[in-house]
Structure 1
Amino acid sequence: MSAVKSKRMPRAVREQQMMDAAVRTFGQRGYRAASMDEIAESAGVSKPLVYLYLNSKEELFTACIRREAKSLVEAVQAAVEPGLPADRQLWAGLRAFFTHTAENPDGWAVLHQQAPSQGEPFVSEVAVLREEIVAFVTGLIGAAAREAHHDPALPDRDVAGLAQALVGAAEALAGWANVTPGVSAKEAAGTLMNFSWAGLENLMHGRSWQSRGE
């Protein structure tokens, strides 16, 4: 009897393999420097096959942005348990964010370094990710305000502004942590928690900072 022929690799598996190689190459080499030849070689496939599955370098990069963005958002959302106190929810979300960016440095480089510097349509793709994260954090801060007050004292505009500031700080800190030896995800999350929570807690209890003499 002849040996049973091995099955062809399913399209989804092969596409995932190519995407992994693309994220690695774009993250380490940059969008402009990365070539489809290099990505194909890293994935162990032919260049025509990469084009067959993903059409063009631009579409491949867009697909990488979307995949890495979805993975990051899902990691943060999955870590937050709605029944926990507000500070524990924020802590869980921050730890998940920094753990994910530390474990996926090439994906974070694609999202935070490469895509924003390459213009449209990539900037818009990253903007979608940021809006999702900001909306999620806005919900956390709003929940914290409701926990502190039956009638929340923080206006919607203030909550939205705090969420923007917190997400911006997390993005900057993740970029720093990923290139600074010895900084763990827990340490990065603790740094931002210490920086942000005291201020958030004061605001939730009506103790806002006031400039003097103005």
Structure 2
Amino acid sequence: MGAVKTKRMPRAVRERQMLDAAVRIFGRRGYRAASMDEIAELAGVSKPLVYLYLNSKEDLFTACLRREATALTRAVREGVRPDLPADRQLWEGLRAFFAHTAEHPDGWSVLRSQARTHGEPFAAEVAAMREEIVAFVTRLIAVAAREAHRDPDLPEREVAGLAEALVGAAESLAAWANTTPGVTARQAAATLMNFAWSGLGALREGRGWVPPAGEG
């Protein structure tokens, strides 16, 4: 079937259509199985035009990664009001994260599954996004420690480790929530808050878990 002919439109609009189609195909079929023919057909353009705009399949996939990563990090940052208490900031950030991944399941599949299984340079694009989110969560945890007025100087390594664990849990929970009927973004965020914030609260109060004596 030939590409659908449409009227001439601005390059930015046409390119967005191509990226929308590519994210859908990559997210559902995977990078290797996806073809430029089906991406072009879904976008309503010719395959040569896709190559003209985005050079190659690899460049097209990289452009998809960058767009989806930027949208996700922006959604998380914009979802957090800095004037709120630390627990509310974390709650709003998690809710924004789960809402975005639920509303853009193909984009999340591209970021979560596809990029990580096809090596460099794709994995590096996702790693950069993840580092930005981890740094953001690290600051939230540090704020929580300061607000507690009990342990304002948590070791930097411990704060960073907590942020890594929280982001990793959010990624896994989003993958589960997106494939489990009836689970909303709010429910997923509440689940992770119940799992994580109680532990963070105990740490803020100096009641952190300690390994049994005598173990290495």
Query: TM > 0.5 between the two?
Result: yes
Q: How does 1:10-29 map to 2 (within 5 A)?
A: 10-29=10-29
**How far did 1:154 drift?**
1.1
After alignment, is 200-209 or 58-67 more displaced?
200-209
Q: Which residue of 2 aligns with 1:3?
A: none
Q: Which residue of 2 aligns with 1:55?
A: 55
Q: Which residue of 2 aligns with 1:148?
A: 148
Instruction: List gaps (5 residues or longer) in structure 2.
Output: 1-5
> Could you state the TM-score of these two structures normalised by the residue count of structure 1?
0.95
State the distance in 1 between where 2:211 and 2:7 align: 70
Q: Which residue of 1 aligns with 2:136?
A: 136
Q: Which residue of 1 aligns with 2:192?
A: 192
Q: How does 1:1-214 map to 2 (within 5 A)?
A: 8-149=8-149, 152-214=152-214
SS at match of 1:119: coil
State the distance in 1 between where 2:191 and 2:65 align: 27
Q: How many residues align?
A: 209
Q: Is the 8 A contact 1:65 1:111 kept in 2?
A: yes
Distance 1:179 1:7, change over 3 A: closer
**How far did 1:151 drift?**
6.1
Q: Give the AA of the match of 2:202.
A: N
RMSD between superposed Cα atoms in Å: 1.3
**How far did 1:34 drift?**
0.2
Deviations 1:114-155, CA, capped at 9 Å, x for gaps: 000011110111100110000000011111111112761311
Instruction: List gaps (5 residues or longer) in structure 1.
Output: 1-5
State the distance in 2 between where 1:89 and 1:139 align: 11
Q: Is the 8 A contact 1:18 1:40 kept in 2?
A: yes
State the distance in 2 between where 1:86 and 1:189 align: 15
**How far did 1:206 drift?**
1.2
Q: Is the 8 A contact 1:76 1:93 kept in 2?
A: yes
Q: Is the 8 A contact 1:154 1:203 kept in 2?
A: no
Q: Is the 8 A contact 2:151 2:204 kept in 1?
A: no
Q: Is the 8 A contact 1:153 1:206 kept in 2?
A: no
SS at match of 2:213: coil
Q: Is the 8 A contact 1:153 1:204 kept in 2?
A: no
State the distance in 1 between where 2:172 and 2:96 align: 16
Q: Is the 8 A contact 1:76 1:94 kept in 2?
A: yes
Question: What is the aligned-residue identity percentage?
Answer: 73
**How far did 1:8 drift?**
2.8
Q: Give the AA of the match of 2:179.
A: V
**How far did 1:188 drift?**
0.6
Q: Runs (4+) of structure 1 moved beyond 4 Å?
A: none
Q: Give the AA of the match of 1:65.
A: L
